[in-house]
Amino acid sequence: MEYILNLKKAVKVLRKNRDKNILICTHIDTDGINSRIILEKLMERLNIDAEFMFLRQIDFKTIDTIPFDYDVIIFADLGSGQLELIKEKMNEYGLLDRKDKYIIILDHHLIDDTKLPENIINVNPWNNNIDGGKEICGAGVCYLFAKICDPRYTDLAKYAILGAVGDIQNLEGKLVGLNREVILKDAIEAGDIVNFPDLQFYGKHTKPLFTSIKYFTDVRTDLMNNDSRIIDFINKINRKYDTNILPKNYLCELTLDEKRMIGTEFLSKCNRHVPPKWIVYLPKVIFGESYELRSEEIKSPLRNLEEFSTCINSCSRYGEYETPLQVLKGDRDKYYDKMKKMLRSHKRNISESLDYIKNEVEIIQRDKFQYFEVENNKIGGNIVGIIAGMSYSIEEVDWKKPIFAISEIDEGYKVSARCPKLISFAEDINLAEAIKYASKKVGGSGGGHKFACGSYIPKKGDFIKYLEDIL
């Protein structure tokens, strides 16, 4: 397989140049930060003295912040979609086809269609038609890279699983492909990860069941934001199944049978609120698997990997990358306290932003989608994607359509697109292709996943018109 061959080639280049100047650049989300810790630990074990830097993205502006005078540069969780830009910069420095200068890319995003010189090694699952959107993430590629270096490094698998969950590669309820067959298997055998059947409500260790149901937005039922109906729903389950589930119980406290009762009744309720052709997809939205770190305490925000990812993003979205990195390394004092403080601040920002959207922003409806615009940095580009996704809790938002959020920032606009998981299953909608097309038409760039993506555009122009054309 070309994928494995590229891994071996990349490892060979690293070993050959181990005593030279090496720079490792990683992305800044959960996947990127877990890529970073895998590569940090790998370099430490191989006694390789490498330098590290974080990159929010690679584009025409940030490319100039990357020092291309290193002998080996490794890009992790980014780079494959910017190959043409990297080639242009290498050509500018006279580095193309140099046998003493190398670029190694460990990525899972869609690949630029361009011919590569021998000294750019693009390790990416798409090279072998493996879906990098759901079968392996950037940290997963970094893990396989480490495992090629030494098969005993299976203790690093847990970081790759956290990266995959953070990148929502368990979209359909559980991990699949290389994530499941290789990486999860290694993490479980190493004793680091435990997985089990569970409901797909968020906040299993940090929110009461009542709250988890209240803010479930993948299907809009009459329970959303309705306290009395949620309590009545839980009480009816208790009467029907002769059990005693309390609204204040956390999901992690319930038995598997109790979760099945809740899931069965919730599925029945959802059946009455969706188009008939969508019903077949409902179980994938409600039932799935949970992935937890065995070493973390029950009811800790670090136990469940979805919640751990939220903790990481509450730091990295505000430019604070060192804090989650140190927490991943095991710091449960100074940096963990700082992470919890930033998580509280992050939640306040989200709550205030949602109130602002609800009370002061118009949701504009189009035939195939909807959108809203935010002026003057009222919502930072760092959280506009989160707000777009959570806006489905607002009644004026049509939960059966994708939504685009356009936020004015200092140098143009940040655009984020989201849709409920059920839509991504039931309808053939690719928001990543749509946003990439429309952004390019107005001089910007973008991409991401079918159900969650983003872009930067210098001006709005006919952006909405181009979205209408392609959707």
Q: What are phi and psi of 143, to 5 degrees?
A: -65, -45
Q: What are phi and psi of 205, to 5 degrees?
A: -110, -5
What would the pLDDT profile of 269-319 be if each residue is shown by its tens digit?
999 999 999 999 999 999 999 999 999 999 999 999 999 999 999 999 999
What would the pLDDT profile of 359-374 be if each residue is shown by its tens digit?
999 999 999 999 999 9
Residue 381 has pLDDT above 90, yes or no: no
Over range 439-457, report the average pLDDT: 87
pLDDT of residue 126: 93
Domains of the chain (ranges plus CATH)?
2-150 (3.90.1640.30), 197-344 (no CATH), 361-470 (3.10.310.40)
Q: Where does the pLDDT of residue 410 fall: very low under 50, low under 70, confident under 90, or very high at 90 and above?
A: confident
What would the pLDDT profile of 314-353 be if each residue is shown by its tens digit?
999 999 999 999 999 998 889 999 999 999 999 999 999 9
Beta bridge partners of 293: 193
Helix, strand, coil percentages for the chain (3-state, nearest 5):
45, 15, 40
Beta bridge partners of 24: 52, 74
117: DSSP letter: P
Q: Which of 266, 291, 284 is nearest to 172 (CA)?
A: 284
Total residues belonging to the chain: 471
Q: What CA–CA distance (Å, rounded) separates 173 from 255?
A: 19
What would the pLDDT profile of 214-255 be if each residue is shown by its tens digit?
989 899 999 988 899 999 999 999 999 999 999 999 999 999
Encoding tokens for residue 188? 């479980």
User: Pick the residue with more confidence: 159 or 379?
Assistant: 159
Strands 403-409 and 370-374: parallel
Q: Where does the pLDDT of residue 463 fall: very low under 50, low under 70, confident under 90, or very high at 90 and above?
A: very high
Q: Where does the pLDDT of residue 382 fall: very low under 50, low under 70, confident under 90, or very high at 90 and above?
A: confident
Per-residue b or e along 338-377, where b marks 16 or more CB atoms closer than 10 Å to that residue's CB: bbeebbeebeebbeebbeebeeebebeeeeebbbbbbeee
Q: Where does the pLDDT of residue 3 fall: very low under 50, low under 70, confident under 90, or very high at 90 and above?
A: low
CB-based contact 318:339 (threshold 8 Å): no
Neighbours of 425 (CB within 10 A): 17
Classify residue 189 as exposed, middle or buried by CB count within 10 Å of its CB (0-12, 13-18, 19+).
exposed
Q: Which of 155, 152, 126 is nearest to 138 (CA)?
A: 126
Any alpha helices (H) in 172-321, and if so which ranges? 178, 185-189, 209-214, 227-241, 256-271, 282-286, 305-316
Q: What are phi and psi of 25, to 5 degrees?
A: -110, 125
Strands 412-418 and 120-123: unpaired
User: Pick the residue with more confidence: 445 or 76?
Assistant: 76
CB-based contact 200:173 (threshold 8 Å): yes
Return the ∠ at Cα 12 (arms to 7 and 15), rounded to 5°. Answer: 125
Q: What CA–CA distance (Å, rounded) separates 134 from 122?
A: 19
Amino acid at 240: K
Q: Where does the pLDDT of residue 2 fall: very low under 50, low under 70, confident under 90, or very high at 90 and above?
A: low
CB-based contact 156:35 (threshold 8 Å): no
Residue 15 has pLDDT above 70, yes or no: yes
Q: Which of 37, 55, 77 is nearest to 157 (CA)?
A: 37
Encoding tokens for residue 398? 């049509």
Over range 131-138, report the average pLDDT: 94
CB-based contact 462:469 (threshold 8 Å): no
Over range 440-450, report the average pLDDT: 85
Return the ∠ at Cα 452 (arms to 448 and 455), rounded to 5°. Answer: 55
